[in-house]
Structure 1
């Protein structure tokens, strides 16, 4: 059964346009350093799961694309790179602490902004809208996915 996820990316790090410009419109989701978000990638995500590509820490945060999980989880190489801001001195190659999946953008959409998400009653209980939620990856209920796809007028869903 397909699961659905919302994955936040700062557009200065990786934007939906960066992903579309990458080979096969696919990027590794590097730099996640929260255990719960890592566990979602490591334990919950499967190839083909739906992804809402969300721009955060920008002028207008919101959902800007529809994507899919494109790989099984594998070790995030940035944890071993001393020059990376995501370097983790405690991570060992034989026992990596941080995992990632590849994400493939299948459709760029208009920006479904945070205020618009908040003003849609059917989305009121979405995890990303909960007060205090700072996770970069959250599961999305199938009903929320369907509503968002309709709001976006997305073709790929």
Structure 2
């Protein structure tokens, strides 16, 4: 199993809306590296859901329920989506400020490649974030 992080601006698609929907396809990715990450996602992989711009915090866990397929919002075959469904909210959101200050998370993609919207997360980083979010 691999672990991932996806970003969404809450005013566009919030964790609350995601939970209400129960499932969504992750569209709008127009960066090649992020697209390649979507292509690598496998059914059952776990995904951290990050509110970008407003909040700047990891708020929940999702899982991949359908692997990459053509993005239905464009005819351009370069772009793909995956289907995600919510698993659970973190008890306490983990802020970007906390992540940047945590020595165990200094190498996480969220800090190193802050503008990338879909990124891999190491198992140790994922577990550490879950521990921080359970407090």
1:36 paired with 2:33, answer: yes
Partner of residue 6, structure 1: 5
Give the aligned length. Answer: 134
How many angstroms does 1:40 deviate by? Answer: 0.8
Q: Scaled by the length of structure 1, what TM-score is found? A: 0.81
1:46 paired with 2:42, answer: yes
Partner of residue 111, structure 2: 129
Which of structures 1 and 2 has the bigger CA Rg?
1
Greater strand share, 1 or 2?
A: 2
Find runs of 4+ consecutive structure 1 residues off by over 4 angstroms: none
Q: Distance in 1 between matches of 2:36 and 2:64?
A: 15
RMSD: 1.3
- Where does the alignment leave 5 or more consecutive residues of structure 1 unmatched? 81-90
- Where does the alignment leave 5 or more consecutive residues of structure 2 unmatched? none
Partner of residue 84, structure 1: none
2:42 partner SS? coil
Partner of residue 83, structure 1: none
Q: Distance in 2 between matches of 1:74 and 1:50?
A: 18
